[in-house]
Structure 1
């Protein structure tokens, strides 16, 4: 008896592995070797566009009727002033598509030797990601390089791909080329692939697609809990996080890293709570920043909600709508964090009110 979404899982793994190979190559050739000094972050732009072209090409060949919600579109590449960038995207995407990775790829998915695409075909593939999302039907969501600044620093970033049916995430695959295979050996081998299918559990592999290791979030004692946070203060309210930590009497220093690698670290037990509180008003989280990671944590035995305890809603379009922040943790810890956030908000409001009376 075949497992549900076995083909979707297989295709997603193949697409993410090729995108990871591509982005790692871009870092080594266009960032590391050039000692990036430009402000336009063009290597990241090349990586974003070419990785999206590769993943979209594979998905479109395997599942031609499926919709894709991707972060990028080809409008800038179609401007003649960006012809050099466009040519580089085409070159890199084709290199990834024709590479013989020997991971069980199927040539019917549009990959392997002799499967080069024209410029127009690749631009069209990028634009397949322009779907508006919604509550019904089959849909993929993709972030080709999640964690731009981490990528540029040679630290954490992720290629994130999720498959949804009627706005519910069913398959999530994330590639983290710079994440240590074993967190206890930070200088050891790097490069991890994380895979989750609803109802079938979560697993970690290496980027050579080796035998998977089952993931389960450990049961933490209160003294063992620490936060997983964003590196950039502009991405999450780190001062508020510190307030929540004090309420929870957390003394361990937070682990800070870019991208959905935080979900991966949580799922395998590297940290107790992923907390992402919004900065400023009006910000809406993008669905591609959380779809695959949320399923990974859930299948590892955790719980993912917004900071009010509401489920994340992936059926509202390209964003999570009114979902306010994101909290992910083991089930026995999650409720404590939600209560602490509520108390931190009350304390913050009380302090503001007291200051206004002075």
Structure 2
């Protein structure tokens, strides 16, 4: 790891462009390679043998396969057979990149030890997986069904560019097989957590939204079931999904990584005093499992209500991150207020070493994979995936980002994310002041009580232009929108100190997804002063003020403009204090 790099993706501080290594197009055996970093338990490592990876393009017209008989086709129903090699790779290539053509479903390849076949298939992924059953829906993905599969598409989000794209985590297995294994376990743990949230969501009647920032009482009156939610000390809501997800995430990851530290948003205090809520959470934890028994066996699980509460409290640690120790940080349900209204929310895991992100996994259970990832649509607060399980994106530092639909069992095929092929944003430097930034697309939350949307409005060019900003309540869904959007997307989170003193950001609100964003294309994440984020101060990010998330080509210009605005704000505050003192 290179904690000091500034021009590569590093916890939101680095730049991601076309690297020297293409996405994975070859097979590796992971369990037999010696490693010391991120080393999992041997019994789980044995699971990762003989996996094949495949890449495909949704616009390919001549499909070929290595060491096999191939049939030319139009990217559907192409067949490749290899009966002698147990680990081979089929690839479909295309020169078309960065287009919006999604007129058909790409072929899906199923890899086994003795053969590879490709053809149009239905991918099963529904919330019913929490109870072991599923409804089948067609999905537009193309890759091997093994965990490390990736696929290229011609959509604007998942590009077909392979020559300069970064390696995926699967490619990393030659150097460090445990990185790919850690990513797989984290993705499975997050996927299982999504099943919990969808189960709870079905118990909450869908009513007219009161708004993500509405009081908890309003949300309860809008249809939440008795015993499903409660108010925390800061009056923010917490649901049985928050508790159950944190219990399952920690127990799931601890089985593979028992020596890691854990930090999570929730504590079990409410469950210890509320028997009814405790029973609801325990039933959720008991019932929820992946539909694939082999995948479920890779994840740990609490053995009873008491152990469940103890596991939740493992994440309540207040100690600072120790040097040379790895931490897994989670936000079990980010955007609980929006979740309670069937809006966008996220389940997040971030892995940190020496204060720097090394892996991130986030699921948006209500983000439509086909529409957003393959079709190029924007994530909208209440345009949600009601029938499916949403979208998961993940990244390993230095090895790019991928997106896949969330499923009920084994991981579904993934597509690489590479915004480097898109044109960079352009600023009109002839315009004075903030006018040069009027052409950017802004991601914000005017409902957030923690930040000043009026400052973002100034950068956008006034109230009318600010109306075009993408409004999303969950901080991690905002990062997802930027990773899946184009390079003009920009986020400025300006702390609101007008009514009460600034409260530092919580670590779980800004970990995992900043790495995914910077790995998906040339971009940076810093505070308002341009300071790159690190994660070695415990639960609160005490040394950081606000957030700027922007393309690497314009990030410094935004930071410089923000510094001017901050200085003007400080002068105004000082003048008001002086006037008040004279009175």
Superposed displacement of residue 263, structure 1: 0.5
Match of 2:78 in 1: none
Matched residue, 2:292: 102
Structure 2: how far apart are the matches of 1:135 and 1:202? 27
Structure 1 match to 2:266? 72
Change over 3 Å in CA distance of 1:71–1:228 after alignment to 2:
same
Aligned residues: 349
Larger radius of gyration: 2
TM-score, structure 2 normalization? 0.56
Aligned to 1:198: 397
- What are the superposed Cα offsets for residues 275-323 of structure 1, whole Å, 9 maximum, x if unpaired? 2111222311111111111111111131110010001121011111120
From 489, 514, 521, the counterpart of 1:272: 489
- 5 Å-filtered alignment, 1:166-181, equals 166-181=354-369
Residue 7 of structure 1: aligned partner: 181
Contact 1:135–1:316, Cα closer than 8 Å, also in 2: no
Counterpart mapping for 1:1-358 below 5 A: 1=174, 2-3=176-177, 5-32=179-206, 35-36=223-224, 41-42=229-230, 44-79=238-273, 82-96=274-288, 99-102=289-292, 105=295, 107-110=297-300, 117-131=303-317, 132-136=319-323, 137-181=325-369, 182-183=371-372, 184-185=376-377, 191-208=390-407, 209-217=411-419, 218=422, 219-222=424-427, 224-246=439-461, 253-259=468-474, 260-269=476-485, 272-280=489-497, 281-301=501-521, 302-349=523-570
- Structure 2 regions of 5+ residues with no counterpart? 1-173, 208-221, 231-236, 428-437
What's the RMSD between the two structures over aligned residues? 2.8
CA offsets, 1:120-171, max 9 Å, x none? Answer: 1211111110222414201100110101111112111100111111121111
C-alpha separation in 2, matches of 1:318 and 1:165: 15
Q: 1:156 to 1:188 in 2, by over 3 A?
A: closer
User: Structure 2: how far apart are the matches of 1:211 and 1:195?
Assistant: 13
CA contact (8 A) 1:229 1:236 kept: no
The question of whether the paired residues in 2 share the 8 Å contact of 1:224 and 1:252 is answered with: no
TM superposition score normalised by structure 1: 0.88
Report the Cα offset of residue 178 of structure 1. 1.1
* Change beyond 3 A, Cα 1:93–1:289: same
Once residues 254 and 234 of structure 1 are traced to their aligned partners in structure 2, the CA distance between those partners, rounded to angstroms, is 17
SS where residue 556 of structure 2 aligns? helix
CA distance in 2, matches of 1:40, 1:30: 9
**Shift in alpha-carbon separation, 1:231–1:155, aligned structure 2, 3 A:** farther
Partner of 2:73: none
Deviations 1:175-230 (A, max 9, x none): 10112323444668561101011011011111124322222344223465211112
Going from structure 1 to structure 2, the CA distance change for 1:202 and 1:37 (only over 3 Å counts) comes to: same
Moved over 6 A (4+): 37-40, 249-252, 353-358
